[in-house]
Structure formats: structure tokens, C-alpha cells
Amino acid sequence: MNIKPVRNEADYQKALERLEIIFEAKIGTDEGDELEILAIVIDNYENEKFPIGMPYPISVINFNMEQMSLKQKDLVEMFGFKSRVSEIMNKK
């Protein structure tokens, strides 16, 4: 096991390639330990270089509505009144 810090894109790509090779390693083996540590190192680099912020609540609702094929009128039961749903969905 020879894991090094991931400091740049080249290191990142190299780490991903190694991860792919040992991806199905069994827990408790040397490769399994390497896989676990490598995943942590990669995750830290990704969180630092490619942060994902919290989504806007309305965006989450719209996404879920799209995934579930729902319309605004389908939300009336959850939120109460039709005017309330319109008010919520039109906030930016």
C-alpha cells in the first residue's frame, strides 16, 4: 500500500484509476484497507475542489415533483390551500 495525498488533478486521476482497480477488494485484506483509505483521500479532495452547496428548498420541491410527475395542484393536499401552494412555488 502506497497512498499519497491528492494535491492536484493528476494525483486525483491516478487515485481514481487505482480505486477502480481495487474497487471489489474484500474488507480486512490489504487491498480492502487501501480501498478504504483511498476513498477517504479522494472524498476529501472532491469536497475541497468540487464543493456542492445546499440547494434552494423550492428547487428540491420542483425536482421531486418532476421525478414523481406531480403538478402544483397535487400539492394542495399537503400544504392546504391552492393559494398557499402558488405562494410557496412562486418564491425565489
Enter the DSSP assignment of 92.
-
Count of domains observed in the chain? 2
CA dihedral (79, 53, 3, 11) positive or negative:
positive
Which of 34, 27, 26 shows the shortest CA–CA distance to 2? Answer: 34
Q: Which domain holds residue 35?
A: 9-49
Comparing CA positions, the residue from 55, 67, 58, 46 lying closest to residue 88 is 58
Same domain, yes or no, for 13 and 44?
yes
Task: Write down the residue that cell numbers 397535487 correspond to.
Answer: 74
Predicted local confidence at residue 50, as pLDDT: 94
User: Do 45 and 77 share a domain, yes or no?
Assistant: no
Mean pLDDT within 37-63 = 92
Based on the fold, state whether residues 25 and 45 are members of the same structural domain: yes
For the chain, what percent of residues have pLDDT higher than 90? Answer: 58
Q: What is the mean pLDDT of residues 16-23?
A: 96
Average pLDDT over residues 22-29: 94
* Model pTM score: 0.62
Element at 45 (helix H, strand E): helix 30-49
Residues 18 and 38 in one domain: yes
Give the model's confidence band at 13: pLDDT under 50 very low, under 70 low, under 90 confident, else very high.
Answer: very high
